[in-house]
Amino acid sequence: MPEISYAEKADPDSIYADEDRRPLVEATQNEQAARYAELLWLEQKLIGPLRPHKEDRLRRTLVNIEAVYEAQWIELEMAVGSRTAFKVRRRVEAQQERQRRLSLSQAICLGLPTRSSRKRNQGHVCCCHPADDLHVVRISESSG
């Protein structure tokens, strides 16, 4: 299996090549964390049954966010080198995965119903959105 080579130096043609790397890495990390959380949320949302028009809209949004997400990593790689960009990306994705698992486990531990049980339970519904962590909303009773 061939070894992957990582460049240590930034691309001298990058518009960020002469700037301090730390603020760029921190800003990219924050932006990418939000994008990755949104990607996870959209992927989770697309698992369940949806109306065709809503599914199409969510898929288009997912494709657009993925494109921006990948382009941002390439831009960071050109600015700070591939090794640093890879470490930052790995840290961002691991952090978001942990946060997502924590949100889901909190809902289960608290015994709160999840979105899938919304139709069966007209009381509280747990909405586990990775960007918003854990929150509970009240669904109004349907008039009968």
pTM: 0.62
Site of tokens 């065709």: 52
Q: Is 124 helix (H, G, I), strand (E, B) or coil?
A: strand
Mean pLDDT of all residues in the chain? 75
**Single-letter amino acid code for the residue at 140:** S
Res. 48 pLDDT band, cuts 50 70 90: confident
Q: Can you read off the two tokens belonging to residue 28?
A: 């990219």
Would 119 be classed as within a structural domain? no
Cβ contact 45:127 at 8 Å? no
CA distances 141 to 31, 119, 121, 127, Å, are 38, 11, 10, 18
**Single-letter amino acid code for the residue at 101:** R
How many domains in the chain?
1
**Structural domain span for residue 80:** 21-111
Q: What per-residue string of b and e applies to 48-72 under the rule 16 or more CB within 10 Å gives b?
A: eeeeeeeeeebeeebeebeeebeeb
pLDDT tens digits, 88-135:
999 999 999 998 887 766 666 665 555 554 444 444 444 444 444 444
Chain-centre distance for alpha carbon 95: 10
Would 136 be classed as within a structural domain? no
> Is the pLDDT score of 80 beyond 50?
yes
> Is the pLDDT score of 3 beyond 60?
no
Cβ contact 85:8 at 8 Å? no
